[in-house]
């Protein structure tokens, strides 16, 4: 919206970050923001009923870079993940994902990330709103295991909705579009390294795309693909999405704004 100005904070707060796609979302009409994992996240673009029907009938694109990643690598990565996560991961093979919860020593939920197993000794936890990186590092300090825990260079978006498979097919091909639910693949788009997962916040068809190289020179005229282009041809979807990455809306639980997305004192 030309000439539009949004004041995000009344004070300077160096602990808050903008995602790599913030300007894109702002320019395309992000109407309100929340702070998730110390990062601004577009929360709404316009009428929520209109957004709902766009999801059901067409597709929606959201910047979810606030969904920070925690990477666990090393020879003991597998047994460490079994220690960190209450559910069994024995059947989670490389290339698969799992919805998991992270609990404290009393069994209360601290975070409910999606776990992505990229290879035998490399896991990502796609974090909800709490400092999961610090918790994992703390557990590792006393685990006596050979693991490395860090935040990798990764910024995800989500494409969710009825037409998301058509968009992904035009953008990345049949192999990626045909991913099974809760599976992942490493690929690239015009030289941009990506991880793509068949996951997402909605109950509809959807994908998450993780940009791996944040130094990659995205074009200055970034555009977010909008549901109003729902009648476009697939090659037009691809052309629009090549220029655009935006932010993920997490609606998995109703008590979103309680510091973490599980609320206080929720037994696992």
Q: Dump pLDDT digits (tens) for 195-232.
A: 999 998 777 789 999 988 776 544 432 332 232 234 34
Q: Are 184 and 95 in contact (CB under 8 A)?
A: yes
* pLDDT at residue 34 in the model: 82
Please name the fold of domain 22-67+153-242. Gyrase A; domain 2 (3.30.1360)
Domain segments of the chain as ranges: 22-67+153-242, 69-150
CA–CA distances in Å: residue 109 to residues 100, 105, 259, 265: 10, 10, 12, 7
Q: How far apart are CA 182 and CA 232, in angstroms?
A: 28
Residues in Cβ contact with 93 at an 8 Å cutoff, skipping those fewer than 6 apart: 117
Query: What one-character DSSP code corresponds to residue 96?
Result: B
* Series of mean pLDDT values for 10-residue runs along the chain (268 residues): 50 70 75 82 78 80 84 97 95 96 92 95 92 95 96 88 87 91 91 89 85 59 32 41 34 31 40
* Confidence (pTM): 0.77
Q: What is the four-CA torsion angle of 244, 247, 250, 256, rounded to 10 degrees? A: -170
* pLDDT at residue 190 in the model: 74
Q: Which CATH class is domain 69-150?
A: alpha beta
Token pair of 8, please? 């995000």
């Amino acid at each position: 919206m030309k000439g539009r100005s949004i004041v995000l904070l009344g004070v300077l707060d160096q602990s808050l970050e903008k995602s790599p796609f913030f300007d894109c979302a702002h320019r395309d009409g992000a109407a309100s923001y929340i702070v998730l994992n110390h990062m601004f996240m577009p929360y709404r673009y316009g009428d929520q009923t209109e957004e709902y029907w766009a999801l059901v009938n067409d597709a929606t694109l959201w910047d979810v870079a606030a969904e920070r990643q925690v990477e666990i690598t090393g020879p003991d990565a597998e047994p460490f993940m079994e220690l960190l996560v209450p559910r069994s991961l024995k059947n989670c093979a490389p290339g698969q994902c799992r919805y998991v919860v992270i609990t404290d020593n009393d069994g209360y939920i601290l975070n409910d990330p999606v776990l992505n197993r990229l290879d035998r000794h490399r896991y990502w936890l796609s974090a909800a709103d709490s400092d999961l990186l610090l918790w994992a590092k703390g557990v590792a300090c006393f685990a006596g295991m050979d693991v490395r825990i860090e935040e990798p260079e990764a910024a995800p978006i989500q494409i969710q909705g009825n037409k998301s498979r058509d968009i992904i097919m035009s953008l990345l091909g049949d192999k990626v579009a045909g991913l099974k639910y809760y599976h992942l693949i490493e690929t690239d788009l015009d030289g941009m390294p990506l991880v793509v997962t068949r996951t997402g916040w909605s109950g509809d068809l959807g994908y998450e795309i993780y940009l791996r190289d944040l130094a990659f020179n995205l074009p200055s005229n970034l555009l977010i693909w909008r549901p109003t282009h729902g009648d476009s041809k697939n090659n037009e979807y691809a052309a629009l999405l090549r220029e655009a990455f935006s932010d993920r809306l997490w609606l998995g639980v109703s008590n979103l704004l309680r510091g973490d997305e599980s609320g206080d004192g929720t037994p696992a």
